[in-house]
Chain A
Amino acid sequence: MKTLKLLSVIIGLSIILFSCGDDNEIDTEKPEIDITIPEAFPTSCNDTIYFGESFTIKFRLTDNIELGSYSIDIHHNFDHHSHSTEVMECNLNPKKTPENPYILIETYDIPIGKNEYITDLPITIPSSNTSGELYDEGDYHFNLSVTDQEGWTTQFGIGIKMMHR
């Protein structure tokens, strides 16, 4: 009997404790990257970026509350190392040793208070490094990451070609 009483007290207490948990709403939704808008770029491995020219990075970013920032990263894939979120198979050039590969890592703020943002970011790719050596042509990776204010993040990555025209 004593055991039963005790158990019921414990269970009662736990119910009270357990039920006072989730009363404040927290944001658990990740931001989204929409690549279906007109002029979205780059979106497939058929997209080529040319050295010495500029192109516009265009995506629609959304979040249920408020966006944070986004980052762009372009690095070589001469060793066929990594990933793509595309469904289609991409034809890669043969593997090779990098000599003077191009690299770009940049981060950008999104204006405060936005839950929708269309990137319209012109980027000029130089054709050579500061010593005048031409950058390597071939397979590269393009990565876009976006965060919201809570720190949730979404990535989009594809293989692209970078060529000299």
Chain B
Amino acid sequence: MQHCCINICYAEVEEAFAFMIKSYSIKILVFALGMGFLYSFSYGQTYYQFEGVVVDENNQPITGASVMVYAIKRGDVTDADGYFRIENLLESTHNVEVSFLGYETLVKEVSFKKNKKFKFQLKESSIKLEEVVVEDNYAEHKKRETSLNIDVVDDDYLKQNLGGSLMKSLERLAGVTTIDIGSGQSKPVIRGLGFNRVVVVENNIKHEAQQWGADHGLEIDQYAVDNIEVIKGPSSLMYGSDAIGGVVDMKNKSVPAENSFGGIIDLSGKTNNNFLGTSVSLFARKKHLFAIVRATLLDFGDYRVPTDSVDIYNFRVPLYKNHLRNTAGKEQNLHTSFGVIKDRFQSRFYVSNVNSKGGFFANAHGLEPRNVDHEEHDRSSRDILYPYHKANHFKVINRSSLWSENWELELDLGFQNNFREEWSVYTQHGYMPAVFPESLDFNPEIERQFDKDIYSANIKFLYRLSNKIELNTGINSEYMDNEIGGRGFIIPSFEQLNLGGYFVAKYNFSEKSLLQAGVRYDYGNINTAQYNDWFASPILENGDTTTYEYLQRSANLSRNFSNFSWSIGYNYNPDKWSYKFNIGKSFRMPIAKELAANGVNYHRFSYEVGNADLSPEISYQLDAGIEYESKKFGVGVSPFINYFSNYLYLNPTSRFDRLYGFGNQVFEYTESEVFRFGGEIHARYEITNYLQLGLIGEYVYAEQLSGEKKGFTLPFAPPASAIFNIKYHKPQLAFLTNTFVSLDYRLTATQNNIVPPEEPTDGFQVFNLGLGGDLLLKNQTIDISIQIQNLLNTKYFNHMSYYRLINVPEPSRNFVINVSIPFSVITNAN
């Protein structure tokens, strides 16, 4: 039944596709939106064309080089003679960026005054491979051409800040924190909002797993990710429901250069949990066809904390050699990407499988703190015993795009399967039999099982009406089917369909200012399935007669949601300054857990109950950004104010559950009005050409304005935090290139704004040291980066960690080393 539904979505997508091909209909839409008057502004001006050639050091033309005029983001790719041409440019001065894989990117200021021909000469870069075109400049331009607050990080950043997990590596960004459980499992939190309030996108397809669960990380291979954009603030407009808090948008390696063949070997080690990681990738490209493959293997032991015992509520657990018992894990990932690239067409497949297994801290999993067999657990720090979880995420994505001078059409199709299991020793819950009956047909040691299929289709059409007006329209669709298994129950099986269409117009008043406005409509449907216990529980009737029943935990439920959202933003970028302003309405559909949860949370020893009547979450936000950038000095602040008319919130009640766990406290989903404000600050000062001082700070305040917890904050409120950084970098130091030494001093304030069952968390100060550079051995470059995290081995607690509730401090000092060995063979063209 639901599968028919998918066909319908695809059909609708195709229809929309056909519709948009008729480009003149776009103009009608423009008038409909009242943009016509703006269009008329663009008449009466003189246009110039920008043309020329791109050559290498031997004056040989380079084919396929990208020439980009920034701020207006118009570009061309050089043809077989190295020739490019961009038409209809206004008289002005622009930054032009010329780039090609394997060559150093050239950025030049160019004045378009006459129809003059240009010649750009590119120098071969010492490393011939991975350098994706744009990096830093891209980040800068990306920031300037959108009214949202956005941070962009690249491969180098990820290597230099390699954390326990991909998300942990992003934590250094202002406004980004993570909710953790253990050393390798983190979920992104943007300005205090996480889980289903942050959308994670990989290669244009929304990553769907069991996002609501805090006990596992993202099933994404850190080594395969090359470029990440973090959008802070609601972005429902382009990314749909769930992007109410922000977006983490990741891209894999870009297309290799023509007639190239090469690869990269990454080796990583961490001392804290004896982590060993290796990732090898190979790439090849003929003229039009290319392929990339990658294999990653990670293996790590229990991680260490600077304490020899942990107080789980009132229960003291001794730790053997500071090891957090049974937190070892491993990961095996395979990826391949292949496709075809033509002058005006590109189609690329991404196929990946990410498989991980990780232990949970054995004493703190289940219905209550547990005394486990320490002798068995402490025998080896590398084995993974019960309780543990396994996750396998399979993904196939196709991205195809077709473009011309003034339009781009993109179709993204995706299929994902997420299979996740939690295994533990059979423990009776409530009135489950003390000994598991053999007559039942499932494995009693599977505590939970989720099997989710996700089908996605997005279509996007961009049209440049003139060099002042850019129109963007698209449709996102997604269908999910989630099956459950195992002895415990928390969420039911469900099916969910999301459909959304948007229209965004961007108007460049001038080189320096742009206005962006958009609207979106979403429709969603969720059907949850009935679930009854597999064991009977006693029901007391009239106080004395006891009957036994297979209790119903969740009912058949069908809910439809729809919403209209909008956003308007304005950018003004005079010279060194940049001002941004954005206001919008975002929304989020309630998820299955919020509507129909009914079970024990094994990490909090709580009993969680959904509410079938919840409405979609609505949020209004006002964002601003002011930035000053000069060669020596840069500073930026990005404040925000945010109001939720109904924040969906897991409220701790004063009641206990009698029928499932061991009399656990009941937490119930409810809605409350929430007001939040906060912001980030970042600053940089170049003392000398080589020495730089930096500051990154963040603050969020949240208060519930109504409901049972009126006056309280929201759970996992990030404390105010700042990083002071000093960095020394030198392009050439003895036999090393791109050398750097960087010291981070992180200062985090005490968090006293708490909700039950949290505890106030003391502030802390931590030092992290990083250093690295590229070593040139004969003709081989070796890129080395080293980090010492928690340099002084400070014992501190992180308010954002699930393990904070059971008094587990953050990891001890950790030496991290990452070595990258790129190699390449440029085959002779022609």
Contacts and interface: CB of A to CB of B under 8 A. Distances in A.
B434 A151 contact: no
A105 B711 contact: no
Contact of A152 (B312, B430, B651, B756): B756
A155 B628 contact: no
A7 B633 CA distance: 14
Contacts of B312: 83
A101 B434 contact: yes
A15 to B, nearest CB: 12
A121 interface: no
A21 B703 contact: yes
Contacts of B431: 103, 105
A81 B362 CA distance: 11
B37 to A, nearest CB: 33
A148 B654 contact: yes
A81 B663 contact: no
Contacts of B321: none
A101 B433 CA distance: 9
A46 interface: no
B655 A68 contact: yes
A24 interface: yes
Nearest to A87: B316
Contacts of A151: 651-654, 665, 708-709, 756-757
B654 A149 contact: yes
Contacts of A145: 656, 663, 665
A69 B652 CA distance: 13
Contacts of A147: 653-656, 665
A99 B368 CA distance: 22
A106 interface: yes
B602 interface: no
Contacts of A26: 711-712
B524 interface: no
A42 interface: no
Nearest to A100: B434
B370 A98 contact: no
A71 B656 contact: yes
Given A17-B677, A26-B711, A153 B757 contact: yes
Nearest to A102: B434
B369 to A, nearest CB: 5
Interface string A1-39: 001001100100110011001101110100000000000
A84 interface: yes
A3 B370 contact: no
Interface string B648-662: 000111111111001
Contacts of A17: 677, 701
Interface of B: 312-315, 368-372, 427-428, 430-431, 434-435, 626, 628, 633, 635, 637, 639, 651-659, 662-663, 665, 677, 679, 699, 701, 703, 708-709, 711-712, 753-754, 756-757, 760
Question: 7 nearest interchain CB pairs?
Answer: A68-B654, A151-B652, A71-B663, A83-B315, A71-B656, A85-B314, A73-B663
26 contacts: A14-B679, A14-B699, A21-B703, A68-B655, A69-B654, A70-B656, A71-B658, A72-B663, A81-B427, A83-B313, A83-B315, A83-B370, A84-B315, A103-B434, A105-B431, A106-B658, A107-B656, A143-B662, A147-B653, A147-B656, A150-B654, A150-B709, A151-B756, A152-B652, A152-B757, A155-B313
